[in-house]
Structure 1
Amino acid sequence: MLIEEELLLSYGAEIVELKTSEIIFNEGDIPRLFYQIRKGRIKLSHFNEDGKELILAVLHNGFSVCELLLFIDKKYPVNAVAIEPTTILTLPKEKLLKILDEMPNISRDINTFLSKRLYYKYIMLQNNTSLHPEVRIKGALEYHKSFSNIISKFAFEVPFTRKELAAITGLRTETVVRSIKKLEKENYLKIIERKIYI
């Protein structure tokens, strides 16, 4: 968890319940709130000129949502949508900035978190330029595993479906299914009850 829930609540955070497919914000909206996921999953996506959805990230428990945009004067470049029943904490931007002013250690934690997230995002983007689907898939899986504390092999449950993985990597769902089977044969991942573990 990026910021402890009790601290957020003490500064006036609200708990918001979201239904599946409920929109948190749209591309082009102005960032005004800090969002942190208490339970559930949120996708960040963009629709290209052909109307095809590209999923840029799937965020889950403890993750914040596009927090970096609270520090610059830019509109959201993505849509944020709950992909299952989700509970989030929301805090106005001004109150988040007050926390950071009053607690420099929280500011350092956020800087570390953002730096780590950007580092692995660069790695994933490099992998996404590959012509080999397995390389793209590995990049996306490693990116998401990097935000868990799980280091053991086959202990991290991948938090998205094959269709979502296709949208993240820009591949067809059928290609992802074939590649996942190939990666399982290569002992890179395991499939247990249709769930992917790395």
Structure 2
Amino acid sequence: MTKEELKQVSDSKTSLGYKRGDIIFDEGELLNGVYCIRSGVCKLVKLNSNGKDQTVKLLGKGELIGQRSIISEERTNLSAVALNDVELCYVPKDQILNSLHVNKDFSFDVLQHLAQNLRQAEDDLIDMAQKSVKQRLAETIITLKNDFGVADDGSINVVLTRDDYASIIGTATESVI
């Protein structure tokens, strides 16, 4: 983006804060903007037929939330929830769409990001079908370590409960050590 385009985005954004467990948006909402994570971790969840949340993805600093719904002009098919205290930037839909129309490099970057998300979703679907609970748990722990880093004491820099792990790997809480 040019300096002028960045200034327009910066001038249009607002800062928002959420506490652990706060809902950023619910499944089925029509979004009027895109969220960018400044700090903290959010989870994208889908309510299943049993009334339990299935965690689809964890997102951290620098990642976007809601861009697919803005581009497709569809209601959200997932809910976004703060996993811990989160600071977000919110950029209005009109600003995002204008940037997509006038800046082909920005549009290409967005397309690449969406393609990467689609690839990850395909990989996750294959993992759910072909890997055991133990394998999925081990891979999840490695991914969390790589994505969020490790504290001085050796723990992963994102705190998750057994319920969280079960929701991420698609199993019952009792199956998670």
Structure 1: runs of 5+ lacking an equivalent: 1-5, 178-198
CA contact (8 A) 2:36 2:89 kept: yes
The aligned counterpart of 2:57 is 57
The aligned counterpart of 1:96 is 96
Q: Deviations over 1:127-178 (max 9, x none)?
A: 11136113333554576678x599xxxx9x474524312101111334232x
The aligned counterpart of 2:136 is 136
Change (3 A) 1:81 1:96: same
CA contact (8 A) 1:124 1:136 kept: no
Q: Which has the higher contact order (CA 8 A, sep 6+)?
A: 2
The whole-number CA distance in structure 1 between the counterparts of 2:145 and 2:85 is 22
Q: TM-score scaled to structure 2, two decimals?
A: 0.80
Q: Deviations over 1:88-146 (max 9, x none)?
A: 01011110111222322222111111111211221111111136113333554576678
The whole-number CA distance in structure 2 between the counterparts of 1:143 and 1:123 is 13
The aligned counterpart of 1:25 is 25
Structure 1 counterpart of 2:84, one-letter code: E
Displacement of 1:82 in angstroms is: 1.0
Structure 1 counterpart of 2:164, one-letter code: E
Bigger proportion of residues as helix: 2
The aligned counterpart of 1:184 is none
| Matched pairs, number | 167
Task: Give matches, 1:52-91, under 5 Å.
Answer: 52-91=52-91
Structure 2 counterpart of 1:115, one-letter code: A
Q: CA RMSD in A?
A: 2.8
SS in 2 for 1:129: helix
Displacement of 1:54 in angstroms is: 1.0
Structure 2: runs of 5+ lacking an equivalent: 1-5
The aligned counterpart of 1:10 is 10
